[in-house]
Amino acid sequence: MKIKTKFFSEVEVEEEKIINFPNGIIGFEDLKRFVLIDHPGSDVIKWLQSVDEDGFALPVIDPVKFFPDYAPSLCESDLKKLKLNSIEDAVVLCVLSVPQEVERTTVNLKGPIVLNSLERLGAQLIAENPEYMIKHPVTIFQKKET
């Protein structure tokens, strides 16, 4: 099927790639279906693109690539709703916030996106770890020298 996207015009998406978020994403509870799209020229950034709202997409990263010890403590009942036995069975992504001054980019370690890729289920959950912040500094973009 073809979907319109925020940044990539129209893209072809296989039905099997659609991830269902029964409760939506925090702040966007009405959006239930998403796909992951690779960011051109980057092997670390992906876009969590709404299938139903072409103007909504979130940049996401695998937090372990930047924070090797990242291990969110998540509510067991939340994992069960995603048909997961443990966090080790999930794909975990975190949302980037990229301001105009890209060197001030932050990542939300407190509210990871947790995916069960086999069941095509997803949710944004809250990590119980007190050390994780919603706006944790992360260096993804290098400031260009002029």
**So where are the chain's domains?**
2-137
Cα–Cα dist 140/104, whole Å: 10
Tell which residue, 108, 23, 116, has the closest CA to residue 59: 108
Query: Alpha helices of 53-136 — where are they, by DSSP H?
Result: 76-81
Q: What is the CATH number of domain 2-137?
A: 2.30.290.10
| pLDDT at residue 145 in the model | 47
User: Angle CA(84)–CA(54)–CA(20) in degrees, nearest 5?
Assistant: 15
- Average pLDDT of the chain? 91
Q: Between 11 and 48, where is the model more confident?
A: 48
Instruction: Using pLDDT thresholds of 50, 70 and 90, give the confidence band for residue 141.
Output: low
106 Cβ partners below 8 Å, 6+ apart? 96, 97, 134, 135, 136, 137, 138
Mean pLDDT to the nearest integer, 53-73: 95
Q: What is the percent of the chain with per-residue pLDDT over 90, rounded to a whole number?
A: 71
Amino acid at 57: A
Query: Is the model's pLDDT at 70 over the cut of 90?
Result: yes
Mean pLDDT to the nearest integer, 105-122: 96
